[in-house]
Amino acid sequence: MQDLYALVPRGGPDRVLTLDPQPRGNRQAVRANAMVLSDPASAAIRADLDRLAPSEASLVLIGETGTGKEVAARYIHDRSGRKDGPFLAVNCGAFVESLVEAELFGYEKGAFTNALKTQPGWFEAADGGTLLLDEVGDLPLQLQVKLLRVLQEREVVRVGGRVPVPVDVRVIAATHVDLAAAVAAGRFRQDLYFRLNVASIDIPPLRARPADLRLLSEHFLAVYGDRLQRRGLALTESAHRALAAHPWPGNIRELENVMHNAVLLAPGPAIGAGDLRLAKPAADAGARTLEDELGDVVRRWLERGEAALFDRATRLLVMTAFEMSDANQVRAAERLGISRNAMRTHLANLGIIAGRAPRRGAGRSAAGERDEG
């Protein structure tokens, strides 16, 4: 995977949050995908990471592909008591299913064909440090059972072996799927979910963090300009507008690729909108659903700790539909996809209309219904 730390020029605005470069031997590692943050949503994530880093708790990072889950995991590791130990990241979805157990837990010589020597797995390699299990939701169910045992007992048994090997590893899981929904569907074990999900952090997509876009694009421009000996390149305002209008289905990883390409191919020092190779999504690809849009808003409200969120959101839906329907209860109910009786109940609860009196006769009630609207 691409290097993920960054050397960011000093002296920028105080609100810009950066992941400090970490020394590696006699040099500093320059990594391409930094935590270069300015958006309030990103700042809230940074605060959560700072609180969780010193603990030994397992946690789950949730976010779309390319949002920077590995960056966040590295950030936690480098601010934990394990910072001097190894940080290893493995993609659980990239394993051949028949070999995933051997990859994670290791194997003994002769355990299977071509097992010509004893080989430790990823857990042993990460001993004393942090292991990121990326796309943990892709693990087969039979491996989930064994992973749960490793987390509980803090030891592994290599394939073909019988002797437990102690391991001291902090596990961070990352996924782009809803693990709770996977549990409900029987694709992910509930006991493993609870074991991993001591804490969780939702990393919003790039499109939900607009204030980060300019900083990240200029950061990648500087990183690749330095690598490719094309220093002094700059994005024009038309380029920034084009970047802001793009939906970024591939998130930060896509932005990095776009800026890398621009550094390679831009003819002059000023990079305009025409120099950016922004993929045009298919008609139905990258389109945002109502659930996508509402989900972004609800996540931000929840992260801010807004009080009485359900009641306030319900009131907003009901009042907006009622006003847009010129106070017509039937049309407002149709807009929301609920019955008129449900609409009347909501309006009565909000004090917009009087509550319905106890029914004394069906005929009178029906007449009353016909008179209103």
Last residue of one domain, picked from the residues 173, 202, 231: 202
Is 218 found in the same domain as 154? no
Report the CATH number that the domain containing residue 98 is assigned in CATH.
Answer: 3.40.50.300
- Please report whether residue 22 resides in a domain: no
Report yes or no: 201 and 53 within 8 Å, Cβ to Cβ. no
pLDDT along the chain (373 residues), means of 10: 30 32 35 62 89 93 92 94 96 84 91 86 96 93 93 94 94 92 90 93 91 92 94 93 94 95 92 89 57 74 75 87 85 86 87 67 44 44
**How many CA atoms are closer than 13 Å to the CA of 166, on its beta-carbon side?**
2
Distance CA 39, CA 19 (A): 15
Tell me how far apart the alpha carbons of residues 142 and 101 are, in angstroms, rounded to a whole number: 10
Give φ, ψ of 126 to 5 degrees. -90, 10
- Please give the backbone phi and psi of residue 266, each rounded to the nearest 5 degrees, phi first: -60, 130
- Note the pLDDT tens digit of each residue in 42-57: 888 999 999 999 999 9
2 falls within a domain: no
Dist CA 360 CA 373 (whole Å)? 21
215-272 tens-digit pLDDT: 999 999 999 999 999 999 999 999 999 999 999 999 999 999 999 999 999 888 999 9
Residues 261, 342, single domain; the answer is: no
Range of the domain at 99: 40-202
Same domain as 347, residue 228 = no
Tracing tokens 């020597």 back to the chain, one arrives at 117
User: Could you give the CA distance from residue 257 to residue 253 in angstroms, rounded to a whole number?
Assistant: 6
- 219: CATH: 1.10.8.60
Check whether residue 210 and residue 198 sit in a common domain. no
Strand-pair partners of 170: 130
